[in-house]
Amino acid sequence: MYAHFVPIIPYVALTLGKQIIYNDTMKLTIRDLELSYFGHLPSLHGIDATFDEGVSAILGTTGSGKTSLLKSIAGLTPYEGEIALDGEGLQHERQADVGMVFDDLGLFGRRSAYYNLTYPLKVRRIPKSEWGAYLEPALKTWGLQDLFLDTAARRLSKPIQVKLALARAWLLPRKVLLLDDPLSFLSPDEREETFALLSRNMRKREGITVYATNHVREVRSLNVPTLLLSYGYNVGTCLPKDGDEVASVYQGQAFVHGYQAIEGVCREGKAVETGLPDVNCDYPASYEGQRVLVGVSPDYLRWVTDDGGDWSAVDYSLDEGVRYTLVQNEELYLTIRGELPLGEKGRVEWVRQPDLFDPVHERRLKVKKELQDENRN
């Protein structure tokens, strides 16, 4: 592995007068990517991923590693592993191929909208006489033709600020554009309206566009290949267009800290084939033998120390002052409430019935929560 650190200015292509040439085989590949903050706080764990030309998505809750992954691709943070664009490493001279919009937008709040928009053009030393050729299409794309450009960015409404940041990102051609949930501080109605425009513009854009978010509905509406992140781990991919509908309940992390949805089968009154001990579940008779998603919360499990167990404690997590431990075996990563000694061997037991989801009809099955004692045997 090699450590890389490439300082760049966000949103700005630094090479001067360089024309980006697109090809039919554009591909961004990530291999064995590791990232730790301050040398000892792990954020990404051996990420392998491929993003092809067009739109892709990254789905994960806060703290899952979305921003860390995008910053690594953009060269904004040191990492170990390999990141390559069209088979060539993304070194300093190639960072002009990558643009990024952060969730805080990165606008100069006291500066005018015009200053914010033209900043990349100034950095690339594009003659001022040519700026109109860049500004007019970008403003039109984001519906900002009537915007009074002398207005300070901080005085603009939140939706207009978002569109201003996106217009700046669309100003110059880049092979890769990374969007770190730029709609995060909009109200639900504002977000829905702005996302509809963003979705259309992402599809029209040439090159690779990666949209990171924690909104399942948006990812499903995009209907694009999606990388699922959980605590810095790649927990799978979702291809809705190929019929993989687990995104409806989010395989990996859901919106409750540590919650996971694991594939299983309803059989003889139990949820089986989950990688966990079989557990009693009350489900409609029509689901006998059917595949379901088994929802697992840290509160549904308990840890039993056992030197012969096939689970081990591998990492810690903290959410709103509550300490959790990440445990794993050969198949799964799970979150247990509390702090266990790292490296400790053991096993997990159910203390509560899990939730069951029908991934085809996208609904939760009504089951009783009382757990029978035989589940603990």
Between 371 and 55, residue with greater pLDDT: 55
CA distance 59 to 12: 25
Crossing angle of helices 113-123/131-141, nearest 10°?
Answer: 130
For residue 127, pLDDT over 70 is answered with yes
Query: Is the distance from CB of 282 to CB of 367 less than 8 angstroms?
Result: yes
CA distance 266 to 272: 6
Instruction: Quote the pLDDT of residue 367.
Output: 53
For residue 94, pLDDT over 60 is answered with no
Instruction: Quote the pLDDT of residue 2.
Output: 34
Amino acid sitting at position 316: Y
Instruction: Quote the pLDDT of residue 251.
Output: 37
For residue 156, pLDDT over 90 is answered with yes
Query: Is the distance from CB of 79 to CB of 6 less than 8 angstroms?
Result: no
Instruction: Quote the pLDDT of residue 243.
Output: 34
The first and second tokens of residue 325, run together, are 């431990």
Instruction: Quote the pLDDT of residue 293.
Output: 79
Crossing angle of helices 158-169/113-123, nearest 10°?
Answer: 20
- List, in order, residues 6 or more apart from 162 with CB less than 8 Å away: 105, 182, 183, 186, 194
* 28-32: average pLDDT: 91
For residue 272, pLDDT over 60 is answered with yes
Instruction: Quote the pLDDT of residue 197.
Output: 95
Instruction: Quote the pLDDT of residue 182.
Output: 93
- Strand partners for 334: 327
- List, in order, residues 6 or more apart from 218 with CB less than 8 Å away: 195, 199, 211
Confidence of residue 114 (pLDDT cuts 50, 70, 90): very high
CA distance 223 to 240: 5
- List, in order, residues 6 or more apart from 40 with CB less than 8 Å away: none
The CATH label, of 3.30.413.10, 3.40.50.10420, 3.40.50.300, 3.50.50.60, for the domain at 3-248 is 3.40.50.300
Amino acid sitting at position 43: S
Confidence of residue 181 (pLDDT cuts 50, 70, 90): very high
- Strand partners for 328: 312, 333
Q: What is the DSSP string of 307-363?
A: TT-SEEEEEEEEETTEEEEEEE-SS-EEEEES---TT-EEEEEESSPPEEEETTTTE
Helices (H), the chain: 66-74, 113-123, 131-141, 158-169, 188-204, 216-222
The first and second tokens of residue 3, run together, are 């450590």
* 216-235: average pLDDT: 79
Confidence of residue 158 (pLDDT cuts 50, 70, 90): very high
For residue 144, pLDDT over 80 is answered with yes
CA distance 310 to 296: 19
b/e for 170-195, b at 16 or more Cβ within 10 A? bbbbbbbbbbbbbbbebeeeebeebb
CA distance 22 to 53: 10
Confidence of residue 75 (pLDDT cuts 50, 70, 90): confident
For residue 240, pLDDT over 50 is answered with no
Confidence of residue 366 (pLDDT cuts 50, 70, 90): low
Q: Indicate the length of the chain as a whole number.
A: 377
For the stretch 299-324, pLDDT in tens is: 889 999 998 889 999 887 766 567 88
CA distance 218 to 214: 9
DSSP 3-state assignment of 240?
helix
DSSP 3-state assignment of 140?
helix
Query: Is the distance from CB of 56 to CB of 225 less than 8 angstroms?
Result: yes
- Strand partners for 41: 37
Between 36 and 365, residue with greater pLDDT: 36
Mean pLDDT across the chain: 79
* Percentage of the chain lying above the pLDDT 90 cut: 34
Confidence of residue 1 (pLDDT cuts 50, 70, 90): very low
**For residue 76, which of 95, 89, 50 has the smallest C-alpha distance?**
95
The first and second tokens of residue 271, run together, are 């949820």
For residue 198, pLDDT over 90 is answered with yes
Between 151 and 91, residue with greater pLDDT: 151
CA distance 364 to 270: 16
Domain ranges in the chain? 3-248, 260-376
CA distance 96 to 16: 9
Phi, psi dihedral angles at 100 (to 5 degrees): -145, 140
Instruction: Quote the pLDDT of residue 361.
Output: 63
* 128-149: average pLDDT: 91
